């Protein structure tokens, strides 16, 4: 499926651009580095909750992560210092 291919590639590219190890990204998402490795290799998908966490952390849209658009523009609100939405 095309979205699986784009998700794995986009997560990998965003992680590398942020200079994060798989272990560091895993801590952000509450996953192991093995889970991140499987996500980046296309061996597993992710939950909606983790997809939203990825989008918030990297400040990109979920549509971008899923390959629906090539525009990564974050349209959510500003995040607080803990990475959560300011309400």
Average pLDDT over residues 61-84: 81
* Contacting residues for 39 by C-beta, under 8 A, at least 6 apart: 7, 8, 11, 45, 46
The pTM for the full model equals 0.81
List Cα–Cα distances, 70 to 5, 64, 74, in angstroms. 14, 6, 12
Give the model's pLDDT for residue 49: 94
**What three-state secondary structure class fits 50?**
helix
Q: Give SS3 for 85.
A: strand
Torsion of CA 10, 69, 82, 48, to 10 degrees: -80
pLDDT score of 11: 96
Task: Please determine, for residue 82, whether its predicted confidence score (pLDDT) is greater than 60.
Answer: no
User: What pLDDT, in 10s, does the model give residues 19-71?
Assistant: 999 999 999 999 999 999 999 999 988 999 999 999 999 999 999 999 899 99
């Amino acid at each position: 499926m095309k979205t699986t291919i784009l998700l794995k590639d986009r997560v990998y590219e965003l992680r590398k651009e942020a200079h994060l190890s798989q272990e560091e990204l895993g801590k952000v998402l509450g996953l192991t580095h093995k889970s991140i490795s499987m996500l980046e290799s296309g061996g597993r998908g992710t939950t909606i909750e983790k997809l939203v966490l990825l989008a918030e952390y990297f400040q990109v849209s979920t549509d971008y992560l899923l390959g629906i658009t090539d525009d990564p523009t974050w349209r959510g609100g500003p995040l607080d210092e803990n990475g959560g939405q300011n309400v």
